[in-house]
Structure formats: structure tokens, C-alpha cells
Amino acid sequence: MKEIVTAHGRVEAEWWGPSPDTAPTIVLLHEGLGCVALWRDVPAKLQEATGLGVLAYSRFGYGGSDPIQLPRSMSYMHDEALHVLPEILDRTGIRKAILIGHSDGGSIAAIHAGGTQAPRLLGVAMMAAHFFVEDLNVAAIAQIKETYRNGDLRRRLARYHTDVDGAFNGWTDAWLDPRFKTFDITGYLEAIRIPILGLQGSDDPYGSDEQLHVLNRHATAPTKTLIIPGARHAPHLEAPEPTLSSLIAFVQDVTA
């Protein structure tokens, strides 16, 4: 495991495949409880299938990256997308990038793509991303908070996060704050100028199909959306074959 030192602190990171000097780079943006390790074998499979470089990093407060001060700001995804991610891309020398984001990471990818319109971006793929807040989303997070308190979720997550309570509470407390109900990034979707892929599990407890309907209504760039049968909130892990096939085809299209 490597690290990237930024003006905001140190993040753990891992790289697969060629350097950004020789090929475009797939940049993976993890979910609200994710980190580098929780991508499991997805980065290696993407690298092998596409021949491109793949970068995954743990956002501040996750994995082995530097901790954050709680509570998180209600604009934490905007802060990541518009300030931290651009520095990560600069510090790693990435010249051409394809963003693949999962859940919170998908929302961050959308904000970055629409908010920066950076010339180095070739495409943006979003799995189970949140473009607005749904009641079922909030209810699912409230339920997982109870599981964390009373079940074995904390023990399982502690294998991956140095500050597991900070990672978990930073995410759940932000989403369960009444102020967060105004979260809406549909305006960023309209501003994206590169190809878009939206994926969602058919049985996702954290978001309904309306998330993809909103993406299709607001996106002005070429957009493809797909429901992954049998998958819940992590289609790349729960239905890897159709999910990775869609991601690989998308990456190959935007780098052709």
C-alpha cells in the first residue's frame, strides 16, 4: 500500500498497471463505508481487461488515511469532489482519467465531472450513486446504524478502517442530519460534458430506480443506464459479471 501526501493530509492509495505517462487511468471512488481494500479484486480485473492504469485511494477518515474532524460538513461530498479529488489527480500526474464511483463515490464523481469539466476527464461511471435524498435511503442508513450498535458490523469494518467509529459515524450522522435532506446534485448532471454510465442494483435498499430516471432526465451528455438484476447496493461485488462487463465496455468506448 502506498500513500499520497496532499495539502489536506495523507491518503492511502494503490496503483495497478501502467503509469499515467503511458496510459489513461481509471480512478475508483469508494462508497460511504469503503476504502481501497474493500474494492477487493475489482481494480485488478479492470486493469487486466482494459490495459489501463487503475488508482484507488481511501478518502480522509477511511481505511488507513488520515482521520477527519467530526461532525462532517453537510457539503462533504462537494468538498471532496471540487477540492480534494483535483489535488489527488494533480499529485499523481494523471493526464487522462475515467472516474468510476460507487454510492457516495458516484455522487462525488458526478459533482467533480459537472463542477470542474476538467479536460483530462474521458468518462464517468456511477454505481448506486445518490443524486438526491430518498426516504428509503435515510431509513436504510438508520437501520444500519442500529446494526452497527448491536451486531457485528463494527467488528467487521474495524478490519479495514483505522478509526472505524469515525468512518461510520461521520457517514451516518451526516446522512441522518435533517439538513442533509436538501442534498441534490441534479444541476451537476446537466453540466457534465463527457459520456456517462449509470448502474444500479435491482434490489438496492439505499436507492430506487428513480435515481437513474433522474440521471436520464437531467444529463445532457451521452448517457447509458442499466439495472443490474439480483444486485443490491454493491453490484460490482454482488453481480460482478454483468457489472464489470458494462464498466469495461464503457472504459473501452471512451478510450477508443
CA distance 217 to 219: 6
pLDDT tens-digit series, residues 100-125:
999 999 999 999 999 999 999 999 99
pLDDT tens-digit series, residues 49-77:
999 999 999 999 999 999 999 999 999 99
What residues contact residue 213 under an 8 Å CB cut-off, 6+ apart?
none
pLDDT tens-digit series, residues 32-51:
999 999 999 999 999 999 99
Cell of 196: 456517462
Omega prior to 242 cis, within 30 of 0: no
Across-strand partners of 10?
Answer: 5
Q: Are strands 121-127 and 2-6 parallel, antiparallel or unpaired?
A: unpaired
Fold entry, domain 2-254: Rossmann fold (3.40.50)
Q: Are strands 121-127 and 53-57 parallel, antiparallel or unpaired?
A: unpaired
pLDDT score of 8 more than 90? no
Transcribe 32-97 into DSSP letters. TT--SGGGTTHHHHHHHHH--EEEEEPPTTSTTSPP-PSSPPTTHHHHIIIIIHHHHHHHTT-SSE
Lowest mean pLDDT among 95-99, 145-149, 168-172, 231-235: 145-149
pLDDT score of 1 more than 80? no
